[in-house]
Amino acid sequence: MFVGFSMARVLKRGKAKAKKKFDEKNKCKLPKVKKSHKGMKMNKWSEDRMRCAIAEFHRGISGLRTIARAWGVPKSTLQRRVKGAVVGSSHASGRKTYLTDDEEKDLAKMLKLMSSRGFPLTGTQVRKIAFDYAQKKGVNKFSTDKGCAGYFWLKGFLQRHHLSFRTPEALSVGRASGMNETVVSKWFDDYENLLDELQIRGMPSHLWNCDESGLQDHFVQGRVIAETGEPCYQITKNEKGQTTTVLACFNACGNYCPPTVIFKGKRLNANWVVGSPPNTVVRMSENGWITKEIFLDWAVSFVSFLPKTNNMPHVLLLDGHSSHIYNLAFLDLMKANNVYPFIFPSHTTHWLQPADKSFFRSLKQCWTNEGLKAVNDMAGITSGKSGFFRIFTPAWNKACSVETAQSGFRGCGLFPVNQRVIPKGAYEPSHTSERDLEPVTTAGQVGVHSCS
């Protein structure tokens, strides 16, 4: 009895010491924290695989765990869906949205339509529209004091419907309404009929495009590296720069005519022409823009450049500038040399003209690169018109590549002829001002066509 009593006390003391030792060892440990999914990437599984896994489970082919492993979806997530705790096969983590899926889809569809028509909305405008839309549907979940949906609601809404913040490109009303699918389709039909009539559909060497654009001798670098928090400057010649017009022409094969350069002024200095590309035509005008007389001078050099190997006609694609189509001397010269000018529809050259699509983009990029080299070499001091061709000639030689010319004609659907290369989105802005097709007019007897 005594021994038993002693052993009981020893065991009791041993347990107390063990408990005390355990408490002292673990007293500095932090309490358990509830697990959080913050920062974790959720819903990595595919909705299509989940849909197939649910369908296979209902067919009774195999067990739930086996199906989840085979389709690569979480077993517990699949289990909640087959039991009906979660409806559907889509991702359903987080709280339920204030608006239903159909209501959010209607709102997203409206925003996408507004953006495609040329009237995109800002984040603040979308939040206000969402609040009004919710009020109309009887959903009083957003703050009535602010009168708009919350920022985090907008963030989630954009993610759910593949929307994002974008910087819109400027598009004039004329171009928005001019790029009309009916007008462009009719123009392509006339273009194809002309090529078939002249029997030059498969002759890219007889399809030409001419256009003019301005080059400014004001060169500014893009993003550069500088000290954080300190001012960063770029030495330039002057604040704005002077614009010089360049008229270029090339065919679908990649052959380029000599350029025409138009300086602003009244009298041409012989030193300004030094270093120009071979056979370059240099002219002067009061404002630096093209005139009927200068365009006629270019036309003379153009017809002298045309190959004389065959008597097949040529097609010259150009815009409807007044110096082009209201120039009888030019039209007579084209008729005498078997050249058929064909006019682009108004306000469509940003999609239909190869020079705008590819060449002038390349030329202006090369012009900027060469200009920055010259500015760095001369410490910001340039020699004006006398140094123009020191920059222009290497830029012209780099831009005049066969690939640039061919990609321009191909990207506009002019050779090979393919109207389907123009995306449907190009016609969306014109839907707000949809108009009927106006009749096609012909100027003279030289084949000049114009679609309004």
Residue by residue, DSSP assigns 261-326 as EEEESSS--GGGGTTPPTT-EEEEESSS---HHHHHHHHHHHHHHS--S----EEEEE---HHHHS
On whether residue 7 sits in a domain, the answer given is: no
Q: Whole-angstrom Cα distance, residue 172 to residue 74? A: 52
Mean pLDDT, residues 196-204:
94
Total domain count for the chain?
3
Task: Write down the pLDDT at residue 100.
Answer: 85
Question: In DSSP terms, which residues pair with 250 in a beta bridge?
Answer: 209, 256
- The distance in angstroms from the start CA to the end CA of the chain is 120
**Which residues are CB-contacts of 372 (< 8 A; sequence separation ≥ 6)?**
219, 221
Task: Write down the pLDDT at residue 93.
Answer: 66
pLDDT digits (tens, 9 = 90+) for 342-374: 999 888 998 999 999 999 999 999 999 998 888
Same domain, 279 and 391: yes
Same domain, 128 and 181: no
Give the pLDDT band (50/70/90) at residue 441: very low
Same domain, 107 and 196: no
Q: Whole-angstrom Cα distance, residue 52 to residue 89? A: 9
**77: containing domain:** 47-82
Q: Which residue has the tokens 């770029």?
A: 234
On whether residue 92 sits in a domain, the answer given is: no
Same domain, 407 and 289: yes
Same domain, 214 and 121: no
Task: Write down the pLDDT at residue 178.
Answer: 67
Q: Whole-angstrom Cα distance, residue 239 to residue 308? A: 48
Same domain, 66 and 132: no
Same domain, 137 and 265: no
Same domain, 371 and 343: yes
Same domain, 144 and 196: no
pLDDT at residue 167 is higher than 90? no
- Residue-level length of the chain: 452
Mean pLDDT, residues 197-221:
91
- For residues 241 and 218, the answer to whether their CB atoms sit within 8 Å is yes
Domain boundary (112, 134, 160) is at: 160
**Which residues are CB-contacts of 389 (< 8 A; sequence separation ≥ 6)?**
272, 273, 274, 275, 276, 277
On whether residue 33 sits in a domain, the answer given is: no
Helix (H, G, I), strand (E, B) or coil at 165: coil
On whether residue 357 sits in a domain, the answer given is: yes
Give the pLDDT band (50/70/90) at residue 439: very low
pTM, two decimals, is 0.64
On whether residue 273 sits in a domain, the answer given is: yes
Q: Whole-angstrom Cα distance, residue 252 to residue 415? A: 7
pLDDT at residue 147 is higher than 90? no
pLDDT digits (tens, 9 = 90+) for 383-437: 678 889 999 999 999 999 999 999 999 999 999 999 999 998 888 776 665 545 4
Same domain, 331 and 193: yes
Task: Write down the pLDDT at residue 44.
Answer: 80
The residue among 337, 57, 61, 345 whose CA lies nearest residue 191 is 345
Same domain, 355 and 432: yes
Q: Give percent above pLDDT 70 in the chain.
A: 79
Quote the DSSP letter at residue 358: I
Any idea what the CATH number is for the domain that residue 325 is in?
A: 3.30.420.10
On whether residue 242 sits in a domain, the answer given is: yes
pLDDT at residue 8 is higher than 60? yes
Domain boundary (131, 160, 189) is at: 160
Same domain, 259 and 335: yes
On whether residue 395 sits in a domain, the answer given is: yes
On whether residue 29 sits in a domain, the answer given is: no
Q: Whole-angstrom Cα distance, residue 395 to residue 73? A: 57
Give the pLDDT band (50/70/90) at residue 113: confident
